[in-house]
């Protein structure tokens, strides 16, 4: 209960999954440009992540920042991701250095590497295919949103190398509540359950590391992202697997 964690983009889906899972484990300060949709007992700052001063102020006495804020739309236009995602993320890293915060956990995205799928789909979404991305590959974004997430990773690398900031970039897959996406092989391959999401971010807060890029997905049979780095360095132990859901959203059988 001692660590104070600043959560930017707290009102987004990832933020909600994190708070649902580990909301009791830390002293949270929530930050979002929209006010809370429901009444909240958490400290809550309404401000924009591109506002240097507001971001610096929000970091007072903070131990770790989970930086989830940004335009989350894969189809977001360039001007928005340039400002909200690239410039906003740089604002967060810079404020962390200026205020003495040691660690930033950055919500990156599967869209940073989406074009690796182009020549391999749909086979790579299936269990028999053992192709894996492991986080050492160069970005191949599938959209400008993905470009902005890759830029946020590179900024993190710079702030780690230059200023000693501990940075984990989590390339989040397809986060859905309750069960995996239905009739969507890609979504089943990169599914991230709510509880695995919360656990993974808890590991990003707790583990020892310098700079890491990890994939944020459950332990899906269909996966084409390696979980080795998240397991080895962070101690991530996913509980879910999209193949185990046999409700209406039953994954298709492998061919």
Cis peptide before 209 (omega within 30 of 0): no
Alpha helix ranges (H) inside the chain = 13-22, 52-58, 78-80, 88-99, 144-163, 185-189, 194-206, 228-229
Task: Give just the sign of the alpha carbon dihedral 216, 221, 224, 229.
Answer: positive
Minimal distance, residue 75 CB to a copy of itself, in Å: 12
Q: Count interface residues toward a copy of itself (CB under 8 A).
A: 27
* Rounded-to-integer distance, Cα 74 and Cα 183, Å: 20
Residue whose CB is less far from a copy of itself, 89 or 241:
89
109 assigned binding-site residue: yes
| By the rule CB under 8 A, 146 interacts with a copy of itself | yes
Q: What are the backbone angles phi and psi of residue 149, rounded to the nearest 5°?
A: -70, -40
Is 147 an interacting residue with respect to a copy of itself (CB under 8 A)?
A: yes
Q: Does 97 bind a copy of itself (CB under 8 A)?
A: no
Q: Which residues contact 193 (CB under 8 A, 6 or more apart)?
A: 175, 176, 218, 238, 239, 240
Q: Is 157 left (phi over 0), alpha (psi -120 to 50) or beta?
A: alpha
In this chain, which stretch among 15-23, 98-106, 147-155, 230-238 interacts with a copy of itself, using CB under 8 A? 147-155
Across the strands, what pairs with 7? 30, 66
Q: Does 75 contact a copy of itself by CB under 8 A?
A: no
Is 145 a known active-site residue?
A: yes
Measured from the CB of residue 236, what is the shortest distance to a copy of itself in angstroms? Answer: 21
Binding mask 157-196 for a copy of itself (x = CB under 8 A): xx--xx----------------------------------
Interface stretch with a copy of itself, choices 22-30, 86-94, 170-178, 194-202 (CB under 8 A): 86-94
Known binding-site positions for NAD(+):
84, 109, 145, 149
Catalog residues that contact a copy of itself under the rule CB under 8 A.
78, 82, 86-87, 90, 94, 115, 118, 136, 138-144, 146-147, 150-151, 154-155, 157-158, 161-162, 213
Q: Which residues are catalytic?
A: 145
């Amino acid at each position: 209960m001692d660590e104070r964690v600043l959560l930017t983009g707290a009102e987004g889906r990832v933020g909600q999954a994190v708070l649902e899972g580990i909301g009791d484990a830390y002293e949270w300060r929530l930050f979002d440009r929209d006010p809370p949709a429901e009444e909240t007992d958490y400290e809550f700052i309404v401000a924009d992540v591109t506002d240097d001063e507001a971001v610096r102020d929000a970091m007072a006495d903070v131990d770790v920042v989970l930086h989830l804020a940004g335009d989350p739309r894969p189809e977001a236009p360039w001007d928005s991701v340039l400002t909200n995602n690239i410039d906003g993320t740089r604002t967060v890293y810079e404020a962390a250095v200026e205020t003495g915060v040691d660690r930033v956990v950055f919500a990156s995205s599967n869209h940073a590497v989406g074009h690796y799928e182009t020549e391999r789909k749909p086979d790579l979404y299936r269990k028999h295919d053992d192709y894996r991305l492991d986080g050492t590959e160069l970005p191949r974004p599938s959209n400008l949103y993905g470009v902005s997430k890759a830029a946020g990773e590179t900024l993190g690398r710079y702030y780690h190398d230059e200023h000693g900031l501990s940075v984990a970039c989590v390339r989040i897959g397809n986060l859905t509540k309750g069960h995996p996406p239905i009739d969507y092989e890609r979504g089943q391959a990169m599914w991230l359950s709510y509880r695995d999401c919360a656990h993974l971010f808890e590991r990003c807060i707790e583990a020892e590391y310098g700079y890491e890029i990890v994939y944020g997905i459950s332990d899906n049979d269909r996966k084409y992202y390696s979980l080795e780095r998240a397991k080895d360095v962070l101690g991530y132990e996913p509980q879910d697997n999209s193949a185990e859901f046999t409700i209406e959203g039953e994954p298709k059988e492998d061919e």
